[in-house]
Amino acid sequence: MNPADLLDAAMEWTVVPSFTRLGPVTRSRLYDWTPLERYDLSGRRLVITGATSAEQVEHNLAAAEARIPDEARAEIEALFPIQ
């Protein structure tokens, strides 16, 4: 097993690092992930899954200049009220 896979396996074994900011940051460097900003998602639909922060999602979508239809925004705000 190569060093990157060993570190990845250790993060999975201990569970917590995989579900914190450390997990994606580490894996993006280990496996040379393409930054989200490099993808052209113009005219595409985005599905967000999993536990997440509505504020962070809104921030990321705004940074990517995404357009959120009003009906979708209302549904997102109902599911994830900003406190």
Q: From the DSSP assignment, how many helices (H) and strands (E) are in the chain?
A: 4, 0
Distance CA 62, CA 46 (A): 13
Does residue 66 have a pLDDT over 60?
yes
- pTM score, whole prediction: 0.49
Segment 66-76 shows an average pLDDT of 77
pLDDT at 36 (0 to 100): 74
Q: Is the pLDDT of residue 53 over 80?
A: no
Q: φ, ψ for residue 22 (rounded to 5)?
A: -60, -40
For the stretch 12-21, pLDDT in tens is 898 888 888 8
CA 11-51-21 angle, to 5 degrees, is 40
Please state, in angstroms and rounded to a whole number, the distance separating the CA atoms of residues 73 and 67: 10
